[in-house]
Amino acid sequence: MNTVAVACMFIFLFSSQDGVLNSMLQFFHMNKIGWLSDPEIVNYSLTGVSIWKFSGIHIILFLAAFQSLPTDMIEASIIDGASTFKQFYHIVLPNIKPVVEIVLFLNVRGALQIFDIPYVMTSGGPNHASETFTLQTINTAFQYQNFGLACAMAIVLMIIIIIFSIIQKKLFNLKG
Give the pLDDT score at 89. Answer: 94
Supply φ then ψ for residue 15, to 5 degrees.
-55, 135
At residue 175, the pLDDT reads 63
User: Per the omega criterion (within 30 degrees of 0), is the bond before 126 cis?
Assistant: yes
**Lowest model confidence (mean pLDDT) among 15-19, 100-104, 144-148:** 15-19
Q: Cα 78 from chain centroid?
A: 36
Taking alpha carbons only, the member of 10, 96, 97 closest to residue 51 is 10
Residue 1 has a pLDDT of: 75
- Give the model's pLDDT for residue 57: 95
In SS3 terms, 18-59 reads as CCHHHHHHHHCCCCCCCCCCCCCCHHHHHHHHHHHHHHHHHH
